[in-house]
């Protein structure tokens, strides 16, 4: 296929070529991969500036997305791809295969750096596909990549959500691009320069808030290497429709849910709710809202089947159109597979191909495994959320598997929300684009206050 870029895609290509370190913070569906590959092609064969490029990406993306892009566009036919995936023996063999582009999953970043520790680092250019997955300065993958910074001529970061949980996440991502030139050499210095302590429990600080004018100052610091674009400004996209399907539990089922909720909440000590027990509690409540929960022995205790029935009805209402179903827990997957026949779980590149060819009617996926970079828009336009994620990043990225460039139909996203349960807390947060640990803490504290105050009716749905 002949590549005819949009104006913004041409601008982004020139941005990469003109800068040794750059970031494309483009919303989902704007074509970050083909933009980057086109720039790589120019740097390889027009400028003769580089000869080997390393791409670090989420596993599913490394398995399929970049290869699909290379096969799709005529102008990229000269770029050879080697996938550094699989067993250690297979990865080593792939590293020695003649190619211009090498791609590895992010979980093997440290292995790759260690492998070349006493060898010549062969890559002149690094592309971090989903830069936000390097947002933790404590992660091994970040610490490993720091060592390669002096060995690289060029670094490109790609992401649609650079800071879904706040600007604190930006430091380590930008450090991998510029070595601390813009936001400082350490996360501590960055924090002290731009943030103030916010939520705390005595001497323990849970969160930070931006100093006055800090947000604008950070953006100004990054303006020479980062470009950000929204899909609504550049693409004529079909309509994205959000639909909430309320799931009513039977009186006995809701009573059982409330009893378990009360027991869980009352098991928390009288001290302030902190992130660790808040996350565990909310996870348990969301499991129960879905209809089952893990017990202390990792056995599955089923509470109700109402969501399974609602899922079955919603799939039936699609009238044979392909449906992408997102689940949260393994027992959700097992129960869905048992309740609904002829489903397929997204695991391999073959599953992606079959879905996009229209061979799969119901595709089951976990948002974390289908959250970044996968092109599924050719296979359908209907999403059903069986279990809701607290992470706004996961939620947005998962929806973007269908709602992206190349989608020709209106996309409808159904949310199965159990009334009177924690589902309503999450739906409210997603609706108002709230995110992160603070909202989770506040939601849990609200439930604690209701239960301990004698009112266990749950949060009102908004």
Distance, CA of 12 to chain centre: 22
Structure tokens belonging to residue 292: 């089952």
CB 190 within 8 A of CB 171: yes
Q: What is the pLDDT of residues 23-39, one digit of tens each?
A: 998 876 688 999 999 99
DSSP percent split of the chain into helix, strand, coil, nearest 5: 45, 20, 40
Q: What SS3 state is found at 357?
A: coil
User: Tell me, what's the pLDDT at 451?
Assistant: 57
Q: Which helix (H) or strand (E) holds 134?
A: none
Position 437 scores a pLDDT of 46
Starting at the earlier edge strand, list the strands of the sheet with 125-129: 81-84, 101-105, 53-57, 125-129, 154-159, 21-26, 226-229
pLDDT, one tens digit for every residue, the chain (462 residues)? 899 998 889 999 999 999 999 999 887 668 899 999 999 999 999 999 999 999 999 887 898 889 989 998 999 999 999 999 999 999 999 999 999 999 999 999 999 999 999 899 999 999 999 898 899 999 999 999 999 999 999 999 998 767 756 788 899 999 999 999 999 999 999 999 999 887 777 677 777 888 999 989 998 999 999 988 776 677 677 888 898 898 988 888 888 888 877 776 655 444 444 444 667 777 888 998 999 988 777 788 888 999 999 999 899 888 788 999 999 999 999 999 999 988 999 998 899 999 999 999 999 999 988 766 688 999 999 999 999 987 777 888 899 899 887 888 889 999 999 998 989 988 887 876 544 445 545 555 555 566 556 544 433 222
CATH topology of domain 7-231: Rossmann fold (3.40.50)
Using a 10 angstrom Cβ sphere, with 0-12 exposed, 13-18 middle and 19 or more buried, the burial of residue 454 is exposed
Q: Looking at residue 458, what is its pLDDT? A: 34
CA distance 287 to 301: 10
Q: Where are the domains of the chain?
A: 7-231, 240-452
Q: Whose structure tokens read 């704007």?
A: 30
Yes or no: say if 221 and 190 are a contact pair by the CB < 8 Å rule. Answer: no
Q: Helices (DSSP H) in 361-422: which residue ranges?
A: 392-399
DSSP state of 367: T
CB 66 within 8 A of CB 55: yes
Topology match between the domains 7-231 and 240-452? yes
Q: Quick one: which of 321, 448, 330 has its CA closest to 387?
A: 330
Which two structure tokens, joined as six digits, stand for 448? 């604690």
pLDDT value of position 137: 93
Single pTM value for the model: 0.64
Predicted confidence (pLDDT) per residue in 104-142, tens digit = 999 999 999 999 998 999 999 999 998 988 999 999 999
Structure tokens belonging to residue 258: 């409330």
- CATH homologous superfamily of 240-452 equals P-loop containing nucleotide triphosphate hydrolases (3.40.50.300)
**Which pLDDT score is estimated for 165?**
66
Query: 229 and 30 in contact (C-beta within 8 Å)?
Result: yes
Instruction: Please give the pLDDT value at position 379.
Output: 93
Give the other-Cβ count within 10 Å of 236's Cβ. Answer: 7
pLDDT at 270: 44
In this structure, are residues 179 and 173 in contact, taking their beta carbons and an 8 Å threshold?
A: no
């Amino acid at each position: 296929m002949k590549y005819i870029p949009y104006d913004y895609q041409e601008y982004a290509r020139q941005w990469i070529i003109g800068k040794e370190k750059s970031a494309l913070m483009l919303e989902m569906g704007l074509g970050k991969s083909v933009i980057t590959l086109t720039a790589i092609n120019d740097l390889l064969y027009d400028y003769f500036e580089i000869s080997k490029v390393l791409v670090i990406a989420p596993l599913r993306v490394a398995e399929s997305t970049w290869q699909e892009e290379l096969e799709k566009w005529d102008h990229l036919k000269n770029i050879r791809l080697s996938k550094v995936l699989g067993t250690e023996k297979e990865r080593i063999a792939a590293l020695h295969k003649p190619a211009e582009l090498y791609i590895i999953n992010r979980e093997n970043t440290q292995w790759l750096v260690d492998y070349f520790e006493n060898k010549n680092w062969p890559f002149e250019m690094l592309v971090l596909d989903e830069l936000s997955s390097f947002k933790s300065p404590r992660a091994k993958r970040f610490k490993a990549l720091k060592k390669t910074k002096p060995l690289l001529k060029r670094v490109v970061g790609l992401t649609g959500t650079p800071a879904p949980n706040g600007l604190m996440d930006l430091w380590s991502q930008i450090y991998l691009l510029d070595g601390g030139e813009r936001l400082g050499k350490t996360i501590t210095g960055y924090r002290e320069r731009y943030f103030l302590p916010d939520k705390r429990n005595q001497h323990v600080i849970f969160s930070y808030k931006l100093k006055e004018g800090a947000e604008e100052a950070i953006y100004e610091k990054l303006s020479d290497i980062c470009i950000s674009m929204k899909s609504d400004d550049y693409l004529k996209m079909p309509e994205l429709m959000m639909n909430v399907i309320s799931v009513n539990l039977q009186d006995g089922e809701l009573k059982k849910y409330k009893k378990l909720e009360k027991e869980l909440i009352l098991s928390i000590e009288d001290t302030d709710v902190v992130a660790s027990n808040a996350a565990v509690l909310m996870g348990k409540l969301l499991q129960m809202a879905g209809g089952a929960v893990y017990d202390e022995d990792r056995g599955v205790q089923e509470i109700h089947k109402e969501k399974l029935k609602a899922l079955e009805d919603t799939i039936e209402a699609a009238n044979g159109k392909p449906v992408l179903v997102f689940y949260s827990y393994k027992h959700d997957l097992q129960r869905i597979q048992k309740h609904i026949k002829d489903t397929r779980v997204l695991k391999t590149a073959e599953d992606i191909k079959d879905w996009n060819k229209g061979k799969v009617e119901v595709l089951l996926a976990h948002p974390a495994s289908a959250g970044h970079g996968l092109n599924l828009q050719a296979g359908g336009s209907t999403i059903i959320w069986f279990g809701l994620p607290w992470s706004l990043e996961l939620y947005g990225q998962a929806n973007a598997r269908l709602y992206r460039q190349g989608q020709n139909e209106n996309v409808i996203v159904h949310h199965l929300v159990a009334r009177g349960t924690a589902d309503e807390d999450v739906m409210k947060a997603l609706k108002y684009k709230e995110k992160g640990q603070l909202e989770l803490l506040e939601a849990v504290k609200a439930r604690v206050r209701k239960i301990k105050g004698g009112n266990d009716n749950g949060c009102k749905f908004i």
